[in-house]
């Protein structure tokens, strides 16, 4: 079965909203083993919407339209679809009763005349109740075997409706499934990652491996075509195990919904650690990524943005001599930023030539960790010795400071994003090395 997704709404074309519905539905179609060749976005215009539907009917078996089912005049999806199919629009008493019940529950809301527009359906369609709103979904099966599904635009209405009603409906029509798993990798570039699995890709049939490059990360999707989910899992399992052997601790998760910051926060919580951040060129971007994670308050202690040398001295106890001798962007400064963030005693010494060393941290601070970033994000400020993109990241875990030097490419924002991702990965691997 070939599916086509049609997202309706001028606000999508203007960039006023992000089209998360297409992303969600594409993933669900893949899960069902439904092929998706086309995704179309069209504004609230009758002529252009009709053209999009007609084009889709010539090349796809399943059309899923989202949006345009509201009560206002510019909500045209239902009416245009009926016109293309040469079907009538009729009132559905069941939906009308549900709209009445919805407004009764929402005390203080008054039913306006245009709300009854949502009780109108396409003749011969199957109504899909909407427990989270007033616009029902519709399933239309045409005489020539096409299926058109209309879903409301708000994701908090669309996703439950699809999962509870549309997914089981489509699943019954499918002879097989596509089962996939995701492996997410940090610390290895896309070219190297692909080289490491080139033999697997060259000889692959079923399942297949597809690499995706993300900022500072590589994601590998392993997909198998199978008769059911059990067979799919069995086909994917040996491939996943082989990838785990090859990439080892560079794999930070095999959960599609999990991000790097989720893994880091969970690791900190697992080992009862707290984190203090010390940022220069990233200016709070690192701390913001951690705060994105629910439960971050359990592990995030403090965050310092020490952009100037004076701030580094004042808040992190970076010595004036270090800044004068080596500069703000240096291994030595990164060490002192990480150590200062963890409130180490002043007389701790560190071997400047080592990547990891014992700082002699006091036992009272043994559960504290820190992550410090200092670098040149550009576009100016670089030199021949320290070009734009030079970043030092220091991390202290279990009384040991690790420092890594990076040379990132890209504009100012890219350098900052790369610094955050590599900083999180350094913290992740440091915790694993120390505690696991």
pLDDT per position as a tens digit, 36-76: 999 999 999 999 999 999 999 999 999 999 999 999 988 99
DSSP for 197-232, written as a single string? THHHHHT--SSEEEEEEETTEEEEEEEEEESSHHHH
Determine the pLDDT at residue 347.
38
Model pLDDT, residue 50: 98
Residue pLDDT, tens place only, 400-427:
999 999 999 999 999 999 999 999 999 9
The CATH number assigned to the domain with range 177-253 reads 3.30.70.2860
Mode of pairing for the β-strands spanning 177-186 and 251-253: antiparallel
Tell me if residue 295 falls in helix, strand or coil.
coil
Range in 84-93, 216-225, 341-350 the model is least confident about: 341-350
Which pTM does this prediction carry? Answer: 0.71
Structure confidence at residue 104 (pLDDT):
82
For the chain, give every residue range classified as CATH 3.30.70.2860. 177-253
Q: Which of 267, 276, 274, 273 is nearest to 249 (CA)?
A: 267
User: What is the number of helices (H) and of strands (E) in the chain?
Assistant: 16, 18
Q: Which residue has better confidence, 362 or 9?
A: 9
198 touches 143 (CB < 8 A): no
Residue 207, preceding bond cis, omega within 30 degrees? yes
Q: What is the CATH number assigned to the segment(s) 2-173?
A: 3.40.980.10
Residue 343 reports pLDDT greater than 90: no
Answer yes or no: is pLDDT of 9 > 90.
yes
Least confident of 94-103, 308-317, 363-372: 363-372
DSSP 175: S
pLDDT of res. 344: 53
pLDDT of residue 105: 80
The rounded distance, in Å, linking the Cα atoms of 159 and 173 is 20
pLDDT band at residue 397 under the 50/70/90 scheme: very high
- Overall CATH class of domain 260-435: alpha beta
Task: Please give the torsion angle defined by the CA atoms of residues 280, 282, 287 and 288, in that order, rounded to the nearest 10 degrees.
Answer: 150
pLDDT digits (tens, 9 = 90+) for 225-281: 888 889 999 999 999 999 999 999 999 999 989 999 999 999 999 999 999 999 999
CATH 3.90.950.20 placement within the chain: 260-435
Other CB atoms within a 10 A radius of the CB of residue 205 amount to: 6
Crossing angle of the two packed helices 331-341 and 309-316, in degrees rounded to 10:
40
| Concatenated DSSP letters of 234-259 | HHHHHHHHHHHHHHGGGEEE--TT--
pLDDT computed for residue 85 by the predictor: 97
pLDDT in tens, 85-124: 999 999 999 999 999 888 888 766 778 888 899 999 999 9
CB 350 within 8 A of CB 339: yes
DSSP 30-58: HHHT-EEEEEEEE-S-HHHHHHHHHHHHH
* Distance, CA of 194 to CA of 247 (rounded, Å): 11
The confidence score (pLDDT) of residue 432 equals 96
Is a pLDDT exceeding 70 seen at residue 363? Answer: no
Per-residue pLDDT, 108: 67
Give span(s): CATH 3.40.980.10, the chain. Answer: 2-173
pLDDT of 158 strictly over 70: yes
365 pLDDT higher than 60: no
Strand ordering across the sheet containing 300-305: 300-305, 274-279, 368-375, 390-397, 400-407, 356-358
Distance CA 161, CA 151 (A): 8
Q: Write down the pLDDT at residue 346.
A: 37
**C-alpha to C-alpha distances, 139 to 78, 149, 206, 208, 403, nearest whole angstrom:** 11, 5, 33, 33, 58
Closest by CA to 137, choosing from 207, 197, 203, 65, is 65
- The residues pairing with 163 across neighbouring beta strands, listed in sequence order, are none
- Rounded to 10 deg, the angle between the 77-85 and 46-59 helix axes is 50
Cβ–Cβ under 8 Å, residues 186 and 417: no
- Looking at every residue in the chain, the average pLDDT score rounds to 91
> For every residue of 85-142, which 3-state class applies, written as one string?
HCCCEEECHHHHHHHHHHHHHCCCCCCCHHHHHHHEEECCCEEECCCCCCCCEEEEEC
Burial class (CB in 10 A: 0-12, 13-18, 19+), 2: middle
* CA dihedral sign of residues 411, 412, 417, 422: positive
């Amino acid at each position: 079965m070939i599916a086509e997704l049609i997202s309706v709404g001028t606000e999508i074309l203007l960039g006023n909203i992000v089209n998360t519905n297409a992303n969600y539905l594409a993933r669900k179609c893949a899960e069902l083993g439904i092929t998706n060749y086309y995704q179309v976005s069209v504004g609230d215009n009758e002529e252009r919407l009709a053209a999009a539907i007609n084009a889709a009917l010539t090349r796809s078996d399943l059309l899923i339209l989202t949006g345009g089912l509201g009560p206002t005049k510019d909500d045209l999806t239902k009416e245009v679809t009926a016109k293309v199919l040469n079907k009538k629009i009729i009132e559905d008493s069941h939906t009308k009763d549900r709209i009445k019940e919805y407004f009764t529950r929402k005390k203080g809301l008054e039913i306006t005349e245009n709300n009854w527009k949502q009780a109108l359906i396409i003749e011969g369609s199957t109504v899909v109740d909407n427990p989270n709103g007033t616009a029902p979904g519709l399933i239309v099966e045409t005489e020539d075997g096409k299926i058109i599904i209309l879903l409301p635009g708000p994701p908090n209405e669309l996703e439950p409706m699809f999962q509870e009603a549309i997914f089981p409906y489509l699943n019954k029509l499918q002879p097989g499934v596509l089962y996939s798993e995701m492996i997410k990798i940090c610390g290895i570039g896309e070219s190297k990652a692909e080289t490491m699995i080139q033999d697997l890709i060259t000889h692959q049939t079923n399942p297949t491996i597809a690499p995706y490059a993300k900022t500072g990360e590589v994601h590998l999707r392993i997909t198998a075509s199978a008769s059911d989910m059990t067979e799919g899992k069995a086909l994917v399992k040996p491939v996943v195990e082989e990838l785990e052997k090859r990439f080892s601790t560079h794999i930070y998760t095999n959960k599609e919904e999990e991000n790097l910051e989720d893994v880091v926060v969970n690791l900190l919580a697992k080992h009862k650690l707290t984190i203090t951040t010390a940022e220069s060129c990233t200016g709070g971007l690192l701390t913001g990524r951690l705060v994105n994670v629910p439960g971050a308050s359990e592990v995030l202690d403090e965050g310092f943005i020490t952009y100037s040398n004076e701030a580094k001295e004042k808040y992190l106890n970076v010595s004036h001599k270090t800044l004068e001798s080596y500069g703000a962007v240096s291994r030595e400064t990164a060490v002192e930023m990480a150590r200062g963030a963890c409130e180490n005693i002043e007389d701790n010494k560190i071997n400047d030539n080592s990547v990891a060393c014992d700082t002699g941290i006091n036992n009272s601070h043994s559960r504290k960790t820190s992550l410090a970033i200092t670098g040149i994000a550009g576009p100016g400020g670089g030199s021949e010795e320290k070009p734009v993109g030079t970043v030092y990241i220091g991390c202290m875990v279990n009384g040991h400071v690790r420092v890594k030097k990076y040379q990132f490419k890209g504009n100012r924002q890219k350098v900052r994003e790369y610094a955050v991702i590599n900083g999180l990965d350094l913290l992740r691997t440091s915790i694993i090395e120390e505690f696991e």
